[in-house]
Amino acid sequence: MKTVTISSYHQTFTLHPSGALYWHETDMLLIADVHLGKVSHFRKHGSAVPASVISHNFEKLDEVLAYFQPKVLCFMGDLFHSYLNTEWLLFTQWIEQVSSKIILIAGNHDIISPLQYKRVHVDVTDEWQIGSVLLTHIPEKREHAFNIAGHIHPGVRLQGLGRQWLSVPCFFNSPDQMILPAFGAFTGKYILTPTIHDNVYAITEREVIQVNRT
């Protein structure tokens, strides 16, 4: 497993191949856009999505939690894709095994009532600012703040031999912002074009790779 550790605004962050980000100073793991319930939603409407994708999301969560063992687990929005369905039951069973305190920064897809989350001891908020670091679902610029967000599902195109191109998820880091890749297995990518001021960290199954340097 190859991670990358960076510093910004006097804070230290480790980028994990799963798409999760570990914030050392707060012992917090940040995960964006899991989109639980999306597979069940599409299967209900006739899409041929393998049911194994559902278990893969939970296995991936288990793996990264075991790796960092954080005090706090913060979901950066779009934890669930739709209304309550069978995956909510799986989530409530999974959460019983998690020792970390869990926070949800509500995203545009998070339409499940906060009361449901409260029953399983998950705190829900629209944003969370800790010192100079601002946690939101949708990326935004705020003066004197380093914004960590999701929502975009950032990706980057890499050129191989000849005319071959490959699109992969990435961490997209600008001077005042870090946009996390989508954590969920059944999500798309939005290809971003970096400027000279941005750093892009592509992720593969077991590795984080910086693909441009400023």
What residue numbers bound the domain in which 36 lies? 4-210
Instruction: Check if the beta carbon of residue 103 is closer than 8 Å to that of residue 122.
Output: yes
The 3-class SS string of 100-157 reads CEEEEECCCCCCCCHHHHHHCCEEEECCEEECCEEECCCCCCCCCCEEEECCCCEEEE
* Number of alpha carbons in the 13 Å side-chain half-sphere of residue 15: 26
- The CATH number covering residue 188 comes to 3.60.21
Distance between CA atoms of 82 and 103, rounded to whole angstroms?
Answer: 19
Q: How far is Cα of residue 66 from the mean position of the Cα atoms in its chain?
A: 16
* Number of domains within the chain: 1
Residue 161 pLDDT: 60
Q: Which of 209, 111, 191, 126 is nearest to 153 (CA)?
A: 191
Whole-model pTM: value is: 0.90
Separation CA 146–CA 201 (nearest Å): 18
Tens of pLDDT along the chain (214 residues) come to 899 999 999 999 999 999 999 999 999 999 999 988 754 444 444 444 445 567 888 999 999 999 999 999 999 999 987 766 778 888 999 999 999 999 999 999 888 899 999 999 999 999 999 999 999 999 999 999 999 999 999 999 887 666 677 789 999 999 999 999 999 876 678 999 999 999 999 999 899 999 975 4
Written as six digits, the tokens of 174 are 């600008």
Per the DSSP assignment, residues forming a β-bridge with 23 are: 13, 28
Supply the pLDDT for residue 34.
93
- Per-residue confidence (pLDDT) for residue 213, from 0 to 100: 56
